Amino acid sequence: MKFLPGIIFDFFLPRICPGCNKKLTNDPKPVCDDCLSSILIADEEKLEHEFEKNFETSNIISDYYALYIFQPDQALQHIIHALKYKKHFKVGIFLGEMLSEGIKSRNWQVDVIIPIPIHNLKKVERGYNQSDYIVKGMSRKLNIPWSKKIVKRIRHTDSQTKLNIKQRALNIADAFKVKRYEEIKNKNVLIVDDVSTTGATILECAKAIKAAGAKTIYACTVGTTSLEDELATSSQAQ
C-alpha cells in the first residue's frame, strides 16, 4: 500500500492519528505505534470462545478470526469511528492489511471475500460502506478477489446497539439477499465486518450465502467485543 509520506507534505497537511489525535511524523502508517501497541490482541482462547458462543451451533460458519479485542473508549474504538464516520479510508485499508496477516496463519482456502453490506439508505447517509475499505486492504495482501455486488442488504434495520442477543437476531432476520449466485456457488467465502458483538449480523449474512450454494463460509472482523462492552460504549456516548 502506498501513502503520501514526506516531511514537506506533513508540514502543510499534518496527519493525525485517529486513535489519540497526536500528529503523525514520517511513519507512513495512518495510526501511531503507541495506539497500535495499546490495543489488546485477540488470542486463540478468546477466538475459540467467540466462535463457540456465536457461530458453532449454527453449522454455517466454519471458523472465525478477529485481530483485536474492542474496548469502550479506547484506541480501537476511536480508530474504527474515524473510518466509519470521518472518511479515513486509509485507516480501513491499513486495518485490512493487518487483518490479512492473521488470516494467512489460519490457512483458510478462500475463493472470494465479501464485506457485510449496508442498506442503501445508510449508504446514502454515510456515503460509503466502511467494510469495503477493510476488504480492499485484505484483498491486496491475500491476492484474493472481493466483491460488494454479490450480497445486498434488502431490509433497513434498527441499530443493534442497546438490543439483547435475541432482539439482535430478530432485528437482522432476512436482511440479506444474494444477487449473484454464480459467483459463490460451490465456493469458499470469507465474510468481513469491522466489529462483532453477538455475531448476529455476520450469521444472518452467512445464512443467505449458504442458501445460495456456498461451499464453506469463514468470518473475520477487525475487533471482537462482548455485549456488555458495547452497551457500556453506547451509554457513554449518550
With beta carbons less than 8 A apart as the criterion, state whether 189 and 214 touch. Answer: yes
**pLDDT tops 70 at residue 7:** no
Give percent above pLDDT 70 in the chain. 89
Does residue 32 contact residue 17 with C-beta atoms inside 8 Å?
Answer: yes
Residue 22 lies in a domain: no
Domain-embedded: residue 4: no
Residue with grid cell 469511528, as numbered in its chain: 81
Question: Could you tell me if residue 5 is inside a domain?
Answer: no
pTM for the full predicted model? 0.89
The grid coordinates of residue 69 equal: 479485542
Q: In this structure, is residue 2 part of a structural domain?
A: no
On the CB side of 212, CA atoms within 13 Å amount to 23
Task: With CA atoms as reference, report the closest residue to 135 among 92, 104, 176.
Answer: 92
Query: 103: domain CATH number?
Result: 3.40.50.2020
Q: What is the pLDDT of residues 90-112, one digit of tens each?
A: 999 999 999 999 999 999 999 99
- Structurally, the chain folds into a number of domains equal to 1
Cβ–Cβ under 8 Å, residues 170 and 198 = no
**Burial tier of 142 (Cβ tally within 10 Å: 0-12, 13-18, 19+):** buried
Amino acid present at 205: C
* Tens-digit pLDDT profile for residues 142-152: 999 999 999 99
In a domain, 169, yes or no: yes
Which of the four pLDDT bands, split at 50, 70 and 90, describes residue 158?
confident
Residue 21 lies in a domain: no
Residue 53: the pLDDT is 94
Domain for residue 220, yes or no?
Answer: yes
Of 3, 51, 57, nearest to 27 by C-alpha is 3
The domain in which residue 103 lies consists of 40-237
Residue 1: inside a domain: no
Handedness of CA 85, 86, 89, 94 (dihedral sign): negative
What are the pLDDT digits (tens) for 185-202? 999 999 999 999 999 999
pLDDT of residue 224: 96
Q: Residue 76 has which C-alpha cell?
A: 480501537
